[in-house]
Amino acid sequence: MNTTEYIALMIDRLPKGYVFTYTDFTTEVNKKQAVIKALNRMVVSGKIAKLSKGKYYKPENTPFGKLQPNQAQIVKDLLEENGKTTGYLTGYSIYNQLGLTTQVSNTIQIGKNQVRPNFKRERYTISFVKQKNTITKANIPLLQVLDAIRYIKKIPDANVDESCKRLLAIIKKFTDQEINTMVRLALKYPPGTRALLGAMLDELQRDQVTEKLYNSLNPITKYKIAGVAKALSTCEKWNVLDNRN
């Protein structure tokens, strides 16, 4: 079996939308060029598509054209390193998934401990959000919600009161252990995020876990968020002010 036949067989076994590089087929330096040439021939023939330099994917063909891979596939090299989770989709990338907006953005935002400048990959802009907590697969859903709380005023095509109500519905389904973990993670977020989370937990009558959040805040600092009072009756305790009132 020659190189092209071997690669074609391997690609047939891959799911549609899967992103790969030549290293998925060989790690031998002397075979690198042969694999790259074979992959590029397959791009020309339409069997696979090129995402960016050195990155290919198995397209799913529809009556409307080829579907792009999902966002996690497009940036998976930025989310994991040597089998260890090092980043996660956040911000614009998950607002739609969380039901906070109907918009789908061309910006893919990634939470990481070490950030880097924005760059383009195919039609997407890749940007980064600094995450001070250790990132694990288990805490990613909690970090995504905390990020949404942090940037609640920047969620596209959404107003704060509706976003608050949606976030309340999400948090309400968390277990006691998840709530405790989220409070611990929130301590490394800006004070405005801690205050708004505290107000949300009070609204859900989970105030027994909010003492650490409350004690971490400056009692004279005010946090202005227009529209928040429509969704939360607990704002005053947390100095979260609806500056439309």
CATH 3.30.360 fits 3-67, yes or no: no
For 206, other C-beta atoms within 10 Å of its C-beta total 18
Report the distance separating Cα 109 and Cα 47, nearest Å.
Answer: 30
Report the distance separating Cα 133 and Cα 222, nearest Å.
Answer: 25
Report the distance separating Cα 193 and Cα 187, nearest Å.
Answer: 9
Instruction: Report helix, strand or coil for 27.
Output: coil
pTM for the model stands at 0.84
Instruction: Please say if the pLDDT value at position 245 is more than 60.
Output: no
Beta bridge pairs of residue 81: 84
Q: Which pLDDT score is estimated for 132?
A: 97
Spans of all domains in the chain: 3-67, 159-245
Dump pLDDT digits (tens) for 141-189: 999 999 999 999 999 999 999 999 999 999 999 999 999 999 999 999 9
| pLDDT mean over 15-38 | 82
Report the distance separating Cα 225 and Cα 199, nearest Å.
Answer: 12
Q: 3-state SS of the chain: helix, strand, coil percent to 5?
A: 45, 20, 40
Dump pLDDT digits (tens) for 34-64: 888 999 999 999 889 888 888 899 888 777 7
